[in-house]
Amino acid sequence: MICPFCSHEDTKVLESRMSSEKACIRRRRECENCQQRFTTYERVEISPVMVIKKNKAKEEYSREKIIKSISNSCVKYEIEQEIIQEISARIEFGISLLGKKEITSAYIGEKILEYLKPVNEIAYLRYLTVFKKFETIEDLYKEINLSGKTLTFSN
């Protein structure tokens, strides 16, 4: 592994541990040259998968796009990047288990919602409003009420 600080090729692994969902391995490394420490993640590489968008257009699956969309929902909430990485790894692992060459963007969106909700409900709602494209606030309230929470308008 090349050190991101000095580009030296010799690094040693200080610690390895499996993520909670066993979707990736987190490794803590130290450069033999500059002694800087850094973290790497080892994931299953999925063969190229095409994502079918709502407008039927197809694009290649992108981990970075998932991370960016989750991060946008988490702005101003102290959600560690490691948690966002874990969510994306869980989604990617699930995609690899499907064994399909094509998946829908709706599948990815639903998985993001599933994994984001227990992390932070407000980030979940922020993602939900973009993903579902609600036309009115009442539509949003209906969706929230369907999830088992009860919200009412107050004057």
pLDDT digits (tens, 9 = 90+) for 125-147: 999 989 988 888 888 888 877 76
C-beta atoms surrounding 127 within 10 Å: 21
Apex 152 CA angle, 151 and 154, nearest 5: 135
Residues 6+ apart with CB under 8 A from 68: none
- pLDDT bin (cut points 50, 70, 90) of residue 149 is low
Rounded CA-CA distance 46/58 in Å is 17
Question: Which pLDDT value is given to residue 148?
Answer: 67
- pLDDT bin (cut points 50, 70, 90) of residue 16 is very high
Mean pLDDT of 61-87: 92
Mean pLDDT of 53-66: 94
Domains of the chain by residue range: 1-43, 44-146
Mean pLDDT of 37-47: 81
Question: Which pLDDT value is given to residue 47?
Answer: 74
pLDDT of 84 higher than 90: yes
pLDDT of 33 higher than 70: yes
pLDDT of 56 higher than 60: yes
Question: Which pLDDT value is given to residue 151?
Answer: 54
Rounded CA-CA distance 90/112 in Å is 9
C-alpha distances (whole Å) from 100 to each of 5, 45, 65, 96, 103 are 38, 14, 19, 8, 7
Rounded CA-CA distance 127/108 in Å is 12
Given a contact cutoff of 8 angstroms between Cβ atoms, the answer to whether 12 and 27 are in contact is no
- pLDDT bin (cut points 50, 70, 90) of residue 120 is very high
pTM higher than 0.75: no
Given a contact cutoff of 8 angstroms between Cβ atoms, the answer to whether 78 and 120 are in contact is no
- pLDDT bin (cut points 50, 70, 90) of residue 71 is very high
